[in-house]
Amino acid sequence: MTTNIEQARFNMVEQQIRSWEVLDSRVLDVLRDVPREDYVPARYRKLAFADLRLPLSQGQVMMKPLEEGRMLQAMDIQPGQRVLEVGTGSGFVAACLSALGADVLSIDLHQELADSARSRFKRLGVERVEVECEDALGFEPTTGFDRVLITASAGEVPARFKEWVGVGGLLFVVRGNSPAMEAVCLQRLDTDRWHADSLFETDLPRLIGAEDQPTFEF
């Protein structure tokens, strides 16, 4: 079984992630080293390395491995950086951020997901990750961040998310409408100016509270 898992992990990195223009050696090493199979729900363990979004509880999903790889590469995480993740989910992305040397604050609206991720980090010895149960749309951090990752979607990027990013920092967010949402990396150039890089198309659940509002015709 161990041989099968390691072969599947190798295939995930070499055939999925690397082939999707993820060439940062640090990111590839982390995706080899962080045991993704320990973060997926038990019933999906055999699919841990598949090119699929895997369901979590509370209507959430794990991103595809190649999407995680592109996101981590775009964020250019450097040791000692302060990183905010909105949407803890299984905890896999936060574990990768920690392995890249970041000090991570991960928040999730769902107490169940926050608690299970916290327990998983303790069991697996993941350090430098703090998990809090918070509503992102009401969250008021006391400090800014070098990197902010929003692992859910919104039609438009809420202005408050940009406020959390320091000058020179990066924001990952998924914007637009299903089925062809756009994952983007926004760099804060100064107080009011941003540069946007389009990364890939995806389709992620809406951030709770940022759902599309119905329109009515009269």
Indicate whether 208 belongs to any domain. Answer: no
- Ramachandran region of residue 13, left (φ > 0), alpha (ψ -120 to 50) or beta? alpha
Indicate whether 216 belongs to any domain. Answer: no
CATH of the domain at 80: 3.40.50.150
Q: What is the pLDDT of residue 2?
A: 73
Indicate whether 45 belongs to any domain. Answer: yes
Instruction: Specify the number of domains making up the chain.
Output: 1
Indicate whether 211 belongs to any domain. Answer: no
**Residue 200 in this model has a pLDDT that exceeds 60:** yes
The residue whose two tokens read 């009401």 is: 138
Indicate whether 209 belongs to any domain. Answer: no
Q: What is the pLDDT of residue 216?
A: 36
Q: What is the pLDDT of residue 212?
A: 58
Mean pLDDT of the chain: 94
Range of the domain at 31: 2-202
**Size (the chain), residues:** 218
Indicate whether 217 belongs to any domain. Answer: no
Indicate whether 214 belongs to any domain. Answer: no
pLDDT in tens, 4-42: 999 999 999 999 999 999 999 999 999 999 999 999 999
Q: What is the pLDDT of residue 95?
A: 98
Edge-to-edge strand list for the sheet holding 165-175: 129-133, 103-108, 82-86, 145-154, 165-175, 181-188, 194-202
- Other Cβ atoms less than 10 A from the Cβ of 167: the count is 11
- Mean pLDDT, range 174-194, rounded to an integer: 95
Indicate whether 68 belongs to any domain. Answer: yes
- Mean pLDDT, range 176-182, rounded to an integer: 94
- Mean pLDDT, range 79-102, rounded to an integer: 98
For the four alpha carbons of 95, 171, 88 and 1, in that order, the dihedral sign comes to: negative
**Residue 215 in this model has a pLDDT that exceeds 60:** no
Of 108, 111, 103, 70, nearest to 87 by C-alpha is: 108
